[in-house]
Structure 1
Amino acid sequence: MKKPVYLDYAATTPVDPSVAEEMIKYLTPDGIFGNPASRTHAFGWQAEAAVETARRQVASLVHADPREIVWTSGATEADNLAIKGVVAGRTGVHVVTSSIEHKAVLDTCKWLEQHGVEVTWLAPDREGRIRAGQVLEALRENTVLVSLMLVNNELGCINEIAEIGRLLREHGVLFHVDAAQAAGKMPVDVSRMPVDLMALSGHKVYGPKGVGALYVRRSPDVRIEAQIHGGGHERGMRSGTLPTHQIVGMGKAFLLAQDGLEAEMAELENLRETFMSGIEGLSGVTVNGSQDCRVPGILNLSFDGVDAESLMLGLRDLAVSSGSACASATIEPSYVLRGIGLSDEQAHRALRFSFGRFTTKEEVAFASSQIVDVVSRLRAVR
């Protein structure tokens, strides 16, 4: 069977070979396999040193202090830790988020609502962005947290996080940002944005699955309640034995992302232009989300007269998505696309194409030609 062309990098990225090579050093008997929390022998000391090196590498990509990085099992746990950790033990408080956040934020905020927390759900504009003015209008005296993503996982559009962050800093409201789709795909600087809590993912940046991190600002200290207890690891914010090999992998992946960020962004933009040039003769194609404020690697398109499920069945040689991988168990139209004003019918016609480090121009040219052929064929038999 011919291997499909992978254009679903927003769902997950393959582990970079050099990352995998580094990780294996921390698994086997002749490697550094000790428990980083074991302080009485060299096996533990070496593992702890590796974890701290990775902590510095992750912090460096987002311009944070290494002491502000808390290891988690992924961005979903980091989002939960941030949001629940701020609200825990407080009554009569108010949280602001948007209706098109990742499920890790949406479901967490819905859970808070069930437990007495007031939540304001902001509606994005047609481009899929939340504006600072909307956030300002939503603030109340009892607002303790605003949670918004930096880059939308279905649209690729970028929120004006820096402006919102400055606004919230003036009002003394904590700001949590899900940056799973942003780190390694655009410059991220937590001091300039500014934010208080930021969720990061390993597997979106050519690292392993099952590891992530939460940035927790230290100056002044942001206080959050732990959600996992049992040993007081990670300065009491997240207990559990640290998976050294995964953490080392995430650190190496973030180091590679930092070193190659500018060149990779330029290459992804070239791939996007090649793809769009290949389908320019196809009528009835709409780009969903902002065409200006976006990362280059994510492209969401609607095709008039063709539903996404039929199109994906016809595109057997392409691996693409009709929405977020975290919502793929449902046949409902994308809540993100409906959130920016698309009808159910329009949302059902949309596909997400996402390019990455190992995508080639030949693959993109092949993909665009396949799309033109299949869309044309499906329209002809309507």
Structure 2
Amino acid sequence: MYVAVKGGEKAIANAHALLAKEGRGDPGIPAIGRDAVAGQLPVLVSRVMTEGSLYDPKLAARAILQCQGDVLEAITLVRSYRTTLPRFGYSEPIDTAGLAPQRRVSATFKDIPGGQQLGATFDYTHRLFADPTGDGPTDTGADAVPMPRVSDLLGSDALLEPDRAADWTDPEPADLTREPTVFPMTRAERLQGLARGDEGFLLALGYSTQRGYGSTHPFAGEIRVGEVEVEFDAPELGFPVPLGRIEVTECQMINQFTGNADTPAQFTRGYGLVFGRGERKAMSMSLVDRALRADEFQERIVAPAQDEEFVLSHADNVQAAGFVEHLKLPHYVDFQAELHLIRRLRRDFHDNAGSKRETNA
């Protein structure tokens, strides 16, 4: 039970003032600007946009500054602001097949059409502090050449499950931001939930699948980072209109599957797609996506990462943070009721214990 708390307005105002003072830091040092955060902390900004479900680098940067770097609080701010925006409709599905990557790597083949493109990555850097003012050479990537997906190369030999069945239709996916969650979910709905899910939670679940808590043996088929065009189908026009370009990270994870009575041995897919630069999140998402497809492949569901309700109900960090942090709020009446109950139970326990001693005597 929640009870209204009266008074304390002055204390709350003072707490806000102190928070602003501590967040400002040394006034002799120039304040960090929104553009600096958006330009120099792109990975952090990408996470806030992805889990906040709103693509706006400058807005995400503003939220990070307002929350003094508290990522979950920034995500909550972005989600809250998102609910105030008018909804004009839905954009067309983005075409990641035509994505011109700034970075494109595959762990399955050394030589792939179009070549490996390292781009900007921490993968080959020493985990040591470096001089932040040093400007080293940059990898601008290869010239624009066709870069078919690795999954398409395997699919041509029927070694990888098709991305859609022969009788597959394209149903309109539900919108988790506007409709209540109902289990079981479609894969499209699950991918929405995973995209909005907490990176750390999905990372832990993805790691668990690699340690044996799930029937997966993954290979990073392909990871791409680049810009794609977003189009909006305006009903009054009758054709899609380009709205602009956004940066995304896509991961195609390839997993072993030994087959069953209906399906021969083949590789299967896990998929992840996030805003901006977010390889770890996209990879974790694709690992969990494949684990949640256990029922499709008649695999035993024995691990947390394979339990749809467990994963999707606990992945949302805004909901999780709210439920945990509400414990800081006043619960005076609740606690007094519990305290009274404990005292009564202890009194009854001691009375019963005394009666037993008298009976035994």
TM over 0.5, shorter chain? no
TM-score bracket, normalised by the shorter chain, equals under 0.3
CA radius of gyration, larger in: 2
With structure 2 as the length reference, what TM-score do the two structures score? 0.25
